[in-house]
């Protein structure tokens, strides 16, 4: 038995890696690099202006997709890194705006969820 599927995207979503396959987006490896407030994201390799410990590539989906990936590949993209199997509820980044003081300068990113639909099923 065969099934034919196609991806039906939400109005905001684009093709490729620019939408979330899961609600939490722990597998997101797209290129969005600003937060819901429009604030640019800090590069993950940088420790300023936000000091953090998310500098190990193994925390990121980029490494799960490509074992050759390095932390510089993540640039300043929104991600939902996983430390000790814990990940957040949505992709996020540390902001470059020191005026954002909530949650240590961490802010979520507005990435649309991919929506898939089965068109034809032959079972």
Q: What percent of the chain clears pLDDT 90, i.e. is strictly above it?
A: 59
- The domain 17-114 having CATH identifier 3.90.420.10: the answer here is no
Is the confidence at residue 8, as pLDDT, over 70? no
pLDDT in tens, 52-61: 999 999 999 9
Q: What percent of the chain clears pLDDT 70, i.e. is strictly above it?
A: 78
User: Residue 9: which pLDDT band, with cuts at 50, 70 and 90?
Assistant: very low
Q: Residue ranges per domain, the chain?
A: 17-114
Is the confidence at residue 102, as pLDDT, over 80? yes
Nearest to 57 by CA among 33, 79, 32: 79
pLDDT value at residue 63? 95
Determine how β-strand 116-122 pairs with β-strand 2-7.
antiparallel
Is the confidence at residue 93, as pLDDT, over 70? yes
pLDDT value at residue 116? 64
- C-alpha distances in angstroms, 92 versus 3, 23, 25, 61, 80? 35, 13, 10, 13, 6
- The mean pLDDT of 61-79, rounded to a whole number, is 95
């Amino acid at each position: 038995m065969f099934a034919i599927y196609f991806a039906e995207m939400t109005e905001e979503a684009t093709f490729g890696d620019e939408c979330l396959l899961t609600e939490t987006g722990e597998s997101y490896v797209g290129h969005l690099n600003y937060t819901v407030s429009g604030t640019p994201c800090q590069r993950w390799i940088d420790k300023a202006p936000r000091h953090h410990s998310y500098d190990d590539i193994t925390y990121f989906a980029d490494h799960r997709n490509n074992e050759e990936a390095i932390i510089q590949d993540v640039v300043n993209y929104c991600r939902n890194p996983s430390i000790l199997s814990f990940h957040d509820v949505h992709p996020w980044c540390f902001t470059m705006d020191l005026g954002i003081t909530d949650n240590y300068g961490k802010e979520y990113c507005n990435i649309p969820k991919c929506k898939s639909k089965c068109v034809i099923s032959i079972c």
